[in-house]
Structure 1
Amino acid sequence: MNRKLFHLGQAVCRMFFRLFYRVKIQGKQNIPEEQGVLLCSNHIHFLDPPLVGSFLKRETRFMAKAELFEAPILKSLIPKFGAFPINRGKSDRKAMRTGLKLLKEGEIVGVFPEGTRSKTGELKKGLSGVGFFALRSDAAVVPCAVIGPYRLFKTIHIIYGEPLNMDQLREEKASPEATTEAIMRGIQDLIDAHKASVK
């Protein structure tokens, strides 16, 4: 990752969102300042990754679908911004090792547990790999909710929730599936708590 390019990209993204949308942010104080963080967000638009990551002080390493790393321009660009690929629809051990290594090194790893955008805006079932990351690391697991819709010059809300308590699940050696369900409930709780008030 090119850190200077990353922070330049953050600044450009912030400018873009402030020009074309009204962005309201809550809960940035819930992102730990130093330790590894598994940042788990719902996914409603292709602009979610830069939106979620560009307003944070720390760098966020997003897991992105492998197809993006084959596109003519993106394949040389997005690795410079710290993204790493995952092959969707099958077990990708390399991606899992990369994500776990970053978390253990104290990085923020951004994931969209649904695996793809929700066409309805409703939260879908999460993939078990997210639970694997939570169980196999000591990272803080922070739920995030993006509440739109994305309409020019309209308000988009980003809510970073308090870190979820993973202690019991880790002690009980819960399954990745059960752990993912707990994380998805955390995201849904954020959406439910804030959706009515942001309309």
Structure 2
Amino acid sequence: MTFYDFARSVVTVIFKPLYRVQVIGIENFPKDSRGVLLCSNHIHNFDPILVGICAPRPVHFMAKAEVFRVPVLGGIVRNLNAFPVKRGMSDREALRKGLSILKEGHVLGLFPEGTRSKTGELGKGLAGAGFFALRTDADVVPCAVIGPYKSFHRVKVVFGKPIEMEKLRKEKASADQVTELIMAEIHKLIREYQ
């Protein structure tokens, strides 16, 4: 058993009953070995944990570089398949790492807003999500986390159907256009299941 699997089992036992987690749309998550770009809204610091334990395949998340400099925590986060990204600038190394994860057939988890929403409302997505969607043939899966994160109150994690990307790739759509489409799909899930 890997550290990821062990940590996931432990956290699942704590989180699922504490937040009465309901997973919706698991059948929409691709089960084959193709890469998956999993894009979610971001309402709480626990989102990566919750999305990670609800997804049927291991997820590799980008995390702010500062986390990796914290003693002990940095090592744990690295062992949970996360990798650092420098916020507020174009981080070529993080972009290369993300592309590599998708091309190797793994799941890359992103919060396109780039940071946690202070209001709980869905913010504007950054072009990074569109960049990864256009540069690979990965399936793009929208995801909505619907709170609140309060003990024994239900939190829903909703996986939407993969977004049709072939036409957009052929038409050479911009990264911003694709990100807008991804955000619109996340917004639909929030409206439908709130």
TM-score band, normalised by the shorter chain? over 0.9
Helix, strand or coil at the partner of 1:145: strand
Helix, strand or coil at the partner of 1:183: helix
Helix, strand or coil at the partner of 2:2: helix
In structure 1, C-alpha distance between the alignment counterparts of 2:176 and 2:80, rounded to whole Å: 30
Does the CA contact (< 8 Å) of 1:10 and 1:55 recur in 2? no
In structure 2, C-alpha distance between the alignment counterparts of 1:113 and 1:154, rounded to whole Å: 26
In structure 1, C-alpha distance between the alignment counterparts of 2:183 and 2:72, rounded to whole Å: 33
Q: In the alignment, residue 88 of structure 2 is paired with which amino acid?
A: G
Residue number in structure 2 paired with 1:32: 30
In structure 1, C-alpha distance between the alignment counterparts of 2:184 and 2:136, rounded to whole Å: 20
Does the CA contact (< 8 Å) of 2:29 and 2:56 recur in 1? no
Query: C-alpha offsets along residues 134-184 of structure 1, whole Å, 9 cap, x if unaligned?
Result: 000000000000000100111000000000011121111111111111111
How far apart are residue 19 of structure 1 and its match? 3.5
In structure 2, C-alpha distance between the alignment counterparts of 1:10 and 1:96, rounded to whole Å: 26
Residue number in structure 2 paired with 1:16: 14
Gaps of 5+ in 1: none
Query: C-alpha offsets along residues 5-36 of structure 1, whole Å, 9 cap, x if unaligned?
Result: 00011111111112421011101111111210
Pairwise CA RMSD of aligned residues? 1.0
1:51 aligns with 2:50: yes
In structure 2, C-alpha distance between the alignment counterparts of 1:19 and 1:175, rounded to whole Å: 42
Helix, strand or coil at the partner of 1:106: coil
In structure 2, C-alpha distance between the alignment counterparts of 1:105 and 1:165, rounded to whole Å: 20
For residues 155-170 of structure 1, the aligned pairs below 5 Å read 155-170=154-169
Q: Percent identity?
A: 52
How far apart are residue 74 of structure 1 and its match? 1.4
In structure 2, C-alpha distance between the alignment counterparts of 1:62 and 1:120, rounded to whole Å: 23
Q: TM-score, normalised by structure 2?
A: 0.97
Residue number in structure 2 paired with 1:194: 193
Q: In the alignment, residue 68 of structure 1 is paired with which amino acid?
A: V
Residue number in structure 2 paired with 1:93: 92
Helix, strand or coil at the partner of 1:14: helix
In structure 2, C-alpha distance between the alignment counterparts of 1:4 and 1:38, rounded to whole Å: 22
For residues 109-188 of structure 1, the aligned pairs below 5 Å read 109-188=108-187
In structure 2, C-alpha distance between the alignment counterparts of 1:188 and 1:151, rounded to whole Å: 22
In structure 1, C-alpha distance between the alignment counterparts of 2:156 and 2:54, rounded to whole Å: 12
In structure 1, C-alpha distance between the alignment counterparts of 2:88 and 2:10, rounded to whole Å: 33
> Higher mean Cα deviation, 70-79 or 112-121?
70-79
Query: C-alpha offsets along residues 104-143 of structure 1, whole Å, 9 cap, x if unaligned?
Result: 0000000000011001000000111110000000000000
Q: TM-score, normalised by structure 1?
A: 0.94
Gaps of 5+ in 2: none
